[in-house]
Amino acid sequence: MSSLRTDPGTQVPRVRSSARRAQSTAHSSTRNATLTIAGVMYILVTLFLAVGAINAQNNLLFWLFGFAIALLVTSGILSGNAMLRLNAHAFPGENARAGRIHILRYRIRSHSRLFPLFALIIREEETGLQTESPGIVVHLAPGSSGESSAEVVAHTRGRYTLPAFRIESTFPFGIIRKWIRFEQPRTLVVLPYALPLRPAPLLFQPGARAEDHHSKPRRGSGTEFFGLRSYSPGDPRRKIAWKTSARRDGLVVIQHAQETEPRIVVWLRKPNDFDPPALVERAIALASSVSRAAVDSGYTVGFWAPWSSLRFSPSAPGHSQLMRIDTALANLDLSLDAQPDTPPPSMLGSVIQVVCQADMLGGLSDGYLAADRPESWLMEGESLPDALTIEAGTNA
């Protein structure tokens, strides 16, 4: 269940500029109240008491009817008044990963001076996301603020629009559901699935190369020998090759080669028009997962999808490059017309081609991974997510 942190001693400022308020809170646009199922049953029982009291002229039934009406009014006053003075803000958050739980965080503040709030539930509206756990606030004292979080899951990559969220409560008797809708448009970028791949040595085999541009050794501060040169004033004495210098007229120093990381480029081939959507999404997830495995194995990774204008040269090491690749794949819109093919990235090293179907190549070979052959790259004992599974009867 989501946690809550409150600041009961926080003083609510009396005057706040409209600009600052717009940045810190969402705009409340709709307030409403509806009867719950328990509330409908409660109303029916109350009406039954009213009819019985009138027909029987029984004082006890009149007392019970009056008590039922009093509870109904109390239910509306206790939390309804405090909810009218509620402000909330949803934090932007980071990118999500398809198939994994993502945390949405909220901050709420009560401007009520008398009434506390209990059992608040925070839900997103019309997002296309699956809610695993809504945000829950057990107690919010008058004039205090707190934070809560909800857990959601996206089953497909892409950009999701989160237009609004609402805060609701059925406190104290569960008869009336009171809710407030806060408009705060946000965008959530969902990255492709991270598939469990086989160990990297089985994937990154020497295979197809496109313009084999392996970098040549250059002078640098590495440990491998590069060559000798004449001594220059200021060169460290420890770099002087004394034995070689003794055979020459002057001093010479040792030069070392610059250390370079191995490079690899993931090439996502263009899918066919008849490829099932789940297979295309699987190929995109496979390309993303191969890129991640390469980075984790110490490779400098590039990416190339010439039909979509995606091109990243293997020049930026580390996970920052991986995030750029994943974000570009998350925003890849397959409904758009194909773009003119882009040239391959510069500084190409080994190339791994990811295709939708092995039949495109006439069979598998080194340097190729086919999305329709998961047994060749998926870790043993693992299965594909449901969103990437092709339905029976669909031609792959």
Residue 79, helix vs strand vs coil: helix
Bridge partner list, 229: 253
> In the chain, where does the domain assigned CATH 2.60.40.10 lie?
5-191
Q: In the prediction, which pLDDT does 27 show?
A: 64
Nearest to 294 by CA among 243, 350, 341: 350
Q: Residues in the chain with pLDDT < 70? A: 1-29, 200-226, 256-261, 337-340, 347-349, 360-366, 392-396
User: What pLDDT, in 10s, does the model give residues 192-225?
Assistant: 999 999 886 545 554 434 333 344 444 444 455 6
| Rounded-to-integer distance, Cα 80 and Cα 167, Å | 12
pLDDT recorded at residue 93: 81
Helical H segments across 84-108, by residue range: none
Q: What is the pLDDT of residue 196?
A: 93
The pLDDT of residue 20 is: 39
Report CA torsion sign: 326, 331, 333, 338: negative
Tell which residue, 308, 15, 225, 4, has the closest CA to residue 134.
4
Residue-wise pLDDT for 313-370, tens only, equals 887 777 889 999 999 999 998 887 666 677 777 766 688 888 888 876 654 455 788 8
Give the DSSP per-residue string, 312-330: E-TTS-SHHHHHHHHHHHH
- DSSP H or E segment with residue 202: helix 200-203
Domain 5-191 classification at class level = mainly beta
How far is C-alpha 15 from the chain's CA centre? 37
Phi then psi dihedrals of residue 93, to 5 deg: 80, 175
To the nearest whole number, what is the mean pLDDT of the chain?
80
pLDDT at 257: 59
Q: What is the pLDDT of residue 5?
A: 44
